[in-house]
Amino acid sequence: MRTARMHLRGALASSLLVLCLAAGASCDTFGGTDTGRAFKRLQRSPNHNGNRFINPIPTPMTQGGRLFRRMIRFVTEKGQRVPPAQPPVQRRRRADYDEAPRGGLRVTWFGHSTMLLEIDGMRVLTDPIFSQRCSPTQAVGPKRFAPTPMRIDELPHLDAIVISHDHYDHLDTASIKALAKRRGLRFFVPLGVAAHLRKWGVAGERIVQLDWWQRTQVGNLTLACTPARHFSGRGLNDRNKTLWASWAIVGPKHRVYFGGDTGMFPGFSEIGRKYGPFDITLMPIGAYDVAWQPIHLNPEEAVRAHHMLRGKLMVPIHWGTFNLALHDWDEPARRLVLAAKQQGAEIATPVVGQMVTPPPPAPPTQPWWEQVKKSAPALQAEAARTAATQ
């Protein structure tokens, strides 16, 4: 049975790759691979088994034989996985960032796991994806529900780009190439991910790659690469060839945790002891499923992890942007609000483009996803009237 499942998964993956290539995916989209001395450096990591990277605790990629059934349902069932109307976006201009945040810390959600952090006079951008689709090609694949609050060329000066891992919804080829045009901008990545960036034209001296628990300085910030429970890969034969990570971003006065993409594991407590308490935790809450529970947090787990990290304010990421799972598009937010109330956590629920600062004042908590549902009938009626007059 296991062999049959492996053959089936291989066939499905091969079919997806062929589809992407047919749709125009260029070879460099899949990134690069370390060989020779560069690969030997990866092998020296305590998190590498000589062939590939491994998780901090045993981690099955899928639970039992559920993967195939979930894939069939993903294709055949529509549900409410896409919002009925475009979610709200607060448009941003470069001038919005001319003045530093009064308290020294502010974050802006750009959708999914892309966050612009302003922390103690520095600016850090996490997992930048500005493309319409998180896919090897812009012809097919999960499409963004709403535009980003500003174009990539409109961004203010940045001091660092932080990458959690190499999946397409976190590492976007076009966005990296565009950001690489900014003189002096440096990229901070887990082990092995540098090969992708070099493939896309980023000079090696501008890339800092770290193992778990290693740290480096950029200006007055400490960037600490911290463990996560996940996996990596962009093609058919590169599963776990690069490391995945979360990050602790520590300034003289403030601390932010960036979760990237992870399942539940005891390491959150260790990260909290070493680098907490965190003024803000950026916690992934979406794209979960029972089939891949070990490698994705659900909202209730995200709140528990926030407490383990000794977080003060939790801001959700990894939701409300792309259709990546079977759950309704707004289910992560609805469950988060309930979990935060039950577990006594302070949360913010910004719309895309909304700025969040630690309280006071109180962070935004409006259930904007409910307004999206309420506005859908009116928007659909307006579209029908417009179509009838044309």
Tell me the per-residue pLDDT of 210-259, one tens digit each, with 9 for 90 and over.
999 999 999 999 999 999 999 999 998 999 999 999 999 999 999 999 99
The Cα 62–Cα 295 span in angstroms is: 9
Stretch 191-218: mean pLDDT, rounded?
98
Highest-scoring range by mean pLDDT, 67-76, 218-227, 283-292: 218-227
**pLDDT category, 361, cuts 50, 70, 90?**
confident
| Domain chopping of the chain, boundaries | 94-374
For 94-374, CATH number out of 3.40.50.2300, 3.40.50.170, 3.60.15.10, 3.55.10.10 equals 3.60.15.10
Q: Which of 15-29, 152-166, 185-199 has the lowest mean pLDDT?
A: 15-29
User: Are 230 and 263 a contacting pair, CB within 8 Å?
Assistant: yes
Q: Which of 59-73, 178-192, 255-269, 278-292 has the lowest mean pLDDT?
A: 59-73
Q: List beta partners, residue 215.
A: 224
Predicted structure pTM score = 0.90
Q: Which of 2-6, 194-198, 254-258, 296-300 has the lowest mean pLDDT?
A: 2-6
Using a 10 angstrom Cβ sphere, with 0-12 exposed, 13-18 middle and 19 or more buried, the burial of residue 153 is exposed
Average model confidence (pLDDT) for the chain?
A: 90
